[in-house]
Structure 1
Amino acid sequence: MIVLGVDVGGTFTDFVLADLEKQELTIHKTSSTPANPAIGVVNGLKAICEKAGIRMADIDSLFHGTTVGTNAMLEHDGAVTGMITNAGFRDVLHIGRHQRPQHYSIMQDLPWQNRPLIRRRHRQTVAGRLDAAGQELIPLDEAALRSAARTLLEQGVEAVLVGFLFSYVNPAHEQRAAQILREEMPDVFVTTSSDVAPQFREFERFTTGAMSAFIGPKVRRYITQLQEELTAQGLKGELRVMTSSGGVATPEMIAQKPASTLLSGLVAGVRGGAWVGSHIGANRLITLDIGGTSADIGIVMDGRLTEADARSASIAGFPVMLPMIDIHTIGAGGGSIAHVDRGGAFRVGPESAGADPGPAAYGKGGERPTVTDANLLLGRLAAENFLGGDMKLDVEAARRVITTLADQLGRTPEETAEGALTVLNSNMANAIRSRTVQKGIDPRDFTLSGFGGAGPLHAAEVAGMLGVRRVLIPPHPGITSAMGLLTADLEYHALRTAFAVKGAVDHARLTGLFDNMEAELNGIFDRDGVPDTKRRMLREGDLRYVGQGYELKIDMPDGVLDDAALEQVWQDFHDRHRAEYGHAFEASPIEIVTIKVRGLGEVDKLGTPPEISVTGDATPVGQRRCVFRIAEELQTFDTPYYDRASFPVGHCMDGPAILLQTDSTTVVPPGWRFHVDKFANVLMTREEA
């Protein structure tokens, strides 16, 4: 069985080819092609097959992480989107809720008002109404619906969302409206809010549906084009696409629910970091995935990827009501540009040089100082050994752009370069604090795993700022996200809004809803050809105390949900509420709001990492003068460079040291000690620990 993971980043596209029977890995990186990501995927696919000595037809499955939908949201570059909704509710998408993201700011950005996904002129209303129980009050006006469809066609819309009140209880009106729209607008992408997020809360449900419509044509076009390109190149294996919840799905499912890919390219990194950590007993992990344009932060608690809750799940400032891993992204990467802002402050990012022209050191015409230029100037990158020697960096170009900024600041080039790294590292440390310290989690109890092309360059210094005492660098940090793709199963979700209060639960109804959802997911697995023995159904529920505004997710038992089974659910909720907020209201009634089933279909994937058997002593391949900040002062150290692959298992050494490999460079600062374990991980610890 040969499987391939492909992760498309802003600067590079990463590949990992795994022969699961022989336990052999082949890795490759190629420049991304932002104008058409499929070109970079196909180019890299050809190269890695040649490197591994196989034909494309030999690949059984290709697992893919894509940022097409993510970028469309972040850049506000989606389809011209229309909406059909109930008469009188045209402005739900604009009004939002009375809660403001920043309660006391009069200058805050409200993206649903400042840059709406669906402009008001493209929101059409029709008569038709259901009540809160899903009973029809006013029939759907089909003639008005057809007229609205013609109006939207004249306006040039490329996608349409159908969003009606109470469709989470009864989707009949939405389904009929979608059928009519597809008849009237056969070339337009049509989706419904009940298909995307069948949950109560109109604003969030409509907004999530609007995202699906907004990115739908672009995601569907990309996946279709990629499939065609891969087939034309001779690939016969199945294509699987990573979803925001940490599983993978078929292209057909992605075409139906494109919003499920909103975190596709980011989640794979957290999965990869968790997979590496699980084999060394690091079940509490902070993952720091630094690429060319951004840094993605995830938290693994007791071996489980932390999921976003309803209060904080968002993309580009828009609330999302979809299952998704909790990932915090900031504009911090190797291509982040160092500059002085209009107020005279020294900043790094979020603007990035990207893949083209890239940092000045790439020699492609970049003229603004970046983090990569700063690392090169400080001696932390080997100019002649970047990407394993496939790319030579221009030291003089890096010095030139850093010096220009240094003159503006009145500092030396080295002070400016190190200052850029300190600012960047501080930004990442603060972002990690927002996901740990601000939620009552002590980061010092965690291991920090640094990966991505730039993660190993910065991981130790970021850990030092947080008081974290152990850093884990995976064997292939630059392609850890691509490896994470190969650790995922097929994963689909079904959910229903239930509204059941403790003491008045209709046990037969609740059990029936779960059974129906499981049957729905089994139908999908039947279509995907997943054997019964490789399926798992996990039940969950969103619960709250009656009167609360938000819920907490609790695991639900299998089988009949009688009083005995629910008693443990109520206690689990009290315990979770106490852990989350520091208190629980044992005497207060509890309400089940939404129930969910997570369906997992097992696929062939990576098992235990292969063990290495390197012996002897590592010999430096060179030495450079590297600059580090020690006790608030810059100091220069004669720093050895090593080929990382030459280190024997268990060999310990003190920093400073630079470890070279094809897909990344690891910096071990002064004051840190490191060794290589049997899985080829680099483990760094601070001396004072």
Structure 2
Amino acid sequence: MRIGADSGGTFTDVVGTDGRTLKVPSTPHDPGEAVRTGAARMAPDGVALLAHGTTVATNALLERRGARVALVTTEGFADVIEIARQDRPSLYDPWADRPPSLVDRADRLEVPERVAADGTVLTEVALDRLPAVPDGVEAVAVCLLHADRHPAHEVAVADRLAASGHDVSASHRVAPEFREYERTVTTVLNAYLRPVCGPYLAGLAGGGADGTVPDEVVVMTSAGGSVDLDTASALPVLLLLSGPAGGARAAAAVARACGFDDAVSFDMGGTSTDVCLIRDGAPQPAAEQRVAGLPVRAPALAIHTIGAGGGSIARLDEGGALVVGPASAGARPGPACYGHGGTRPTVTDADLVAGRIPAGSSFGALGELDVEASRGALDAAGVDAAGVIDVVNAGMERALRAVSVEQGVDPAGLALVAFGGAGPLHACELADALGTPTVIVPAAAGVLSAVGLLTAPGRRELVRSWPGGTDLAGLDDALAALAAEALALVDVPDATVATAVDCRYRGQSHELRVPSVADFPAEHRRRNGEERPGDPIEVVALRAVVETPAPARIDEVLASWEGRWTEPVVGPQVVVREDCTIWVPEGWRGEGGPLGSLLLRRDAATPGTAG
């Protein structure tokens, strides 16, 4: 048996290659416990492969539970990590602060060395003047100026520190791209997370208390592909969007099977909502992500996350305005209706009181939901169910617009792929607000991210800075060499490799990723509304992505879900599934689609609605 296991804030979802699904309450004290429990229940005779999506890296960063890190950098650049950029977190709020640096000033060490951007050595690295690493430091990040292009000095420093027994992350291995601030932060993040993620991942390979040990464990990265345990332990900065990336990947596959190459994935779980634009059948990549307010220059999908989920707590703020999230009731105590001691109202409580979740429903091992407890929690907080639903929908609508309208994409030309335990409860109203004509509820919607983990290919991405700028001589040879280097990372005969370039018009400060330089003008027009004929195009980075076959195909995993929609679903109607609940408002109509999905559209026969 091969299984996918996605650790969420409220539930850990498990899916097998035979289409069976399982939800296990998450165990925040040790997320691996829920994974091991779910794996043992799903496959008591043993697990051939465990494909895992983890929140350990994200939670360690959000909660500031990482390692004490020392930063070694070029003399004169120790404060780059704190000076940062000139932009402010909130333009009109003078009291808004940037996140504090992950490295204390006393732990920033400088080494005399200087290499020019063209590779000229101006000052040899002085290893004999490398300061001693302070006592108590658990990991070291090395980030020297221009090491993205010319890493020799950084290699020498990193090797010296590693030989002394330190856990070292070096920028030329973690984030070999220009922009020294972002490169420094990303390298420090990797060092910060290694002592936390390494033992956790090793524990997964060790199996559960019953002695079950997976034959193989792979871990989903933020870029929507899996890596082996050694890579994940060495580069945990790749895991910050691990679970959501699996969901976006599966949503793209389902949308394409249903005839929609362009869509938006909408994953509303218990703690958060994750949305991602899908173009030409694939989730869109991001040049950079911000996690906990910090820039991360590592391969990732362009996933936008907000603190809105079924467990998001509703309250009145100091001014009497209704606020929903980002605080969550989690799995324990959970929403009031769970009966585990929760007393604060959540979105799930509002959905239950509003009738979107039928009274008497049960969520797996939780038993029957307590509608009176939900009603009491809402009343005690002075909020009403309809208001909570309106507020959380407004926040999710803004998130969906951020990945569509703000990227120059009209939502009217997209499908909305709704999944997660709570996504299908809110999708049709959001589609109405966006003008999106079709909502797709995939089979296994409540555990689709776990499906994505199991059906995602192995993936590694290499990036190199391009020193030539507008001089493209040798570009094709450099891309071919990078592709060969990427292929050498995997020992699989049928691996595939693709290359891309990051381009911009000369004088611009940010770039777009395109398959080739020739594709840049059209992509610039799509994103920015114009081309600049005659303006020189500058290449700043080269990329190569190698992929290996996935553990399973999505049509295989979802085969047992086919044919469940035997007749149309006409709103208003609540459809209760074993993995999720679907709210079909008045004016909407659903029919079965490919891969066991439900396609919801505005009912042309309903007066006052669009066809």
TM-score range, shorter chain: over 0.9
Shift of 1:231: 9.9
Aligned with residue 599 of structure 1, among 530, 546, 549: 546
Aligned twin of 1:292? 270
Q: Greater shift after overlay, 124-133 or 511-520?
A: 511-520
Shift of 1:575: 1.4
Q: Name the CA distance, whole Å, in 1 between partners of 2:345 and 2:91.
A: 37
- Asked if 1:523 is matched to 2:488, the reply is yes
Summarize deviations over 1:225-273 as a string: whole Å, max 9, x none.
Answer: 2111359733342111101111110111112211111111110111111
Aligned twin of 1:514? 479
Q: Is the 8 Å Cα contact of residues 19 and 561 (structure 2) preserved in structure 1?
A: no
Aligned twin of 1:543? 503
Summarize deviations over 1:170-209 as a string: whole Å, max 9, x none.
Answer: 212211211221232x2x4310111111111111110111
Q: Name the CA distance, whole Å, in 1 between partners of 2:425 and 2:241.
A: 24
- TM-score, normalized by length of structure 2? 0.95
Shift of 1:130: 1.6
Aligned twin of 2:103? 118
Aligned with residue 662 of structure 1, among 575, 578, 602: 578
Aligned twin of 2:122? 137
Summarize deviations over 1:560-610 as a string: whole Å, max 9, x none.
Answer: xxxxxxxxx3x3211111111111111111111111111112233214342
Shift of 1:222: 1.0
Aligned with residue 559 of structure 2, among 586, 591, 610: 610
Q: Is the 8 Å Cα contact of residues 266 and 417 (structure 2) preserved in structure 1?
A: yes
- Asked if 1:337 is matched to 2:297, the reply is no
- TM-score, normalized by length of structure 1? 0.84
Q: Is the 8 Å Cα contact of residues 19 and 559 (structure 2) preserved in structure 1?
A: no
Q: Could you say what secondary structure the match of 1:384 adopts?
A: coil
Q: Could you say what secondary structure the match of 1:25 adopts?
A: coil
Shift of 1:432: 0.9
Aligned twin of 2:146? 166
Summarize deviations over 1:615-653 as a string: whole Å, max 9, x none.
Answer: xxxxxxxxxxxxxxxxxxxxxxxxxxxxxx5x41xx223
Q: Is the 8 Å Cα contact of residues 332 and 350 (structure 1) preserved in structure 2?
A: yes
- Asked if 1:420 is matched to 2:391, the reply is no
Q: Name the CA distance, whole Å, in 1 between partners of 2:552 and 2:161.
A: 41
Q: Greater shift after overlay, 28-37 or 678-687?
A: 678-687
Q: Name the CA distance, whole Å, in 2 between partners of 1:205 and 1:389.
A: 45
Aligned twin of 1:181? 161
Q: Greater shift after overlay, 28-37 or 657-666?
A: 657-666
Kindly report which structure 2 residues correspond to 1:39-438, keeping only aligned pairs within 5 A, or say none: 39-50=33-44, 55-56=45-46, 59-100=47-88, 102=90, 105-111=93-99, 115-145=100-130, 147-149=131-133, 152=134, 154=135, 156-184=136-164, 186=165, 188-229=166-207, 233-310=211-288, 313-388=289-364, 391-406=367-382, 416-438=384-406
Q: Which amino acid aligns with 1:575?
A: A
Summarize deviations over 1:92-116 as a string: whole Å, max 9, x none.
Answer: 00111234455555344322xxx21
Q: Is the 8 Å Cα contact of residues 657 and 668 (structure 1) preserved in structure 2?
A: yes
Q: Which amino acid aligns with 1:539?
A: T
Summarize deviations over 1:279-311 as a string: whole Å, max 9, x none.
Answer: 11122211110111100011111212111134x
Q: Name the CA distance, whole Å, in 2 between partners of 1:592 and 1:678.
A: 41
Q: Name the CA distance, whole Å, in 1 between partners of 2:396 and 2:168.
A: 39
Q: Which has the higher contact order (CA 8 A, sep 6+)?
A: 2
Q: Is the 8 Å Cα contact of residues 313 and 345 (structure 2) preserved in structure 1?
A: yes
Q: Name the CA distance, whole Å, in 2 between partners of 1:101 and 1:332.
A: 20
Q: Name the CA distance, whole Å, in 2 between partners of 1:197 and 1:268.
A: 22
Aligned twin of 1:17? 16
- Asked if 1:35 is matched to 2:29, the reply is yes
Q: Name the CA distance, whole Å, in 2 between partners of 1:230 and 1:200.
A: 43
Summarize deviations over 1:462-514 as a string: whole Å, max 9, x none.
Answer: 21222222111111111100001122111111121113244x4332xx34433
Q: Name the CA distance, whole Å, in 1 between partners of 2:122 and 2:269.
A: 53
Q: Name the CA distance, whole Å, in 2 between partners of 1:392 and 1:103.
A: 47
Q: Is the 8 Å Cα contact of residues 225 and 458 (structure 2) preserved in structure 1?
A: yes
Q: Is the 8 Å Cα contact of residues 611 and 678 (structure 1) preserved in structure 2?
A: no
Q: Is the 8 Å Cα contact of residues 204 and 217 (structure 2) preserved in structure 1?
A: no
Aligned twin of 1:626? none
Q: Which amino acid aligns with 1:159?
A: A
Q: Could you say what secondary structure the match of 1:207 adopts?
A: helix
Q: Which amino acid aligns with 2:148?
A: Y
Q: Is the 8 Å Cα contact of residues 353 and 385 (structure 2) preserved in structure 1?
A: yes
Q: Name the CA distance, whole Å, in 1 between partners of 2:127 and 2:495.
A: 41
Shift of 1:38: 0.7
Q: Name the CA distance, whole Å, in 2 between partners of 1:505 and 1:467.
A: 43
Instruction: Tell which structure's C-alpha radius of gyration is larger.
Output: 1
Kindly report which structure 2 residues correspond to 1:513-592, keeping only aligned pairs within 5 A, or say none: 513-526=478-491, 530-531=492-493, 534-556=494-516, 569=517, 571-592=518-539
Q: Could you say what secondary structure the match of 2:508 adopts?
A: coil
Q: Is the 8 Å Cα contact of residues 501 and 589 (structure 1) preserved in structure 2?
A: no
Q: Name the CA distance, whole Å, in 1 between partners of 2:91 and 2:365.
A: 52
Change (3 A) 1:291 1:613: closer
Aligned twin of 1:500? 468
Aligned twin of 1:619? none
| Percent of aligned pairs with the same amino acid | 38
Q: Is the 8 Å Cα contact of residues 387 and 661 (structure 1) preserved in structure 2?
A: no
Q: Is the 8 Å Cα contact of residues 338 and 346 (structure 1) preserved in structure 2?
A: yes
Shift of 1:521: 2.1
Shift of 1:440: 2.2
Aligned with residue 683 of structure 1, among 579, 599, 603: 599
Aligned twin of 1:4? 3
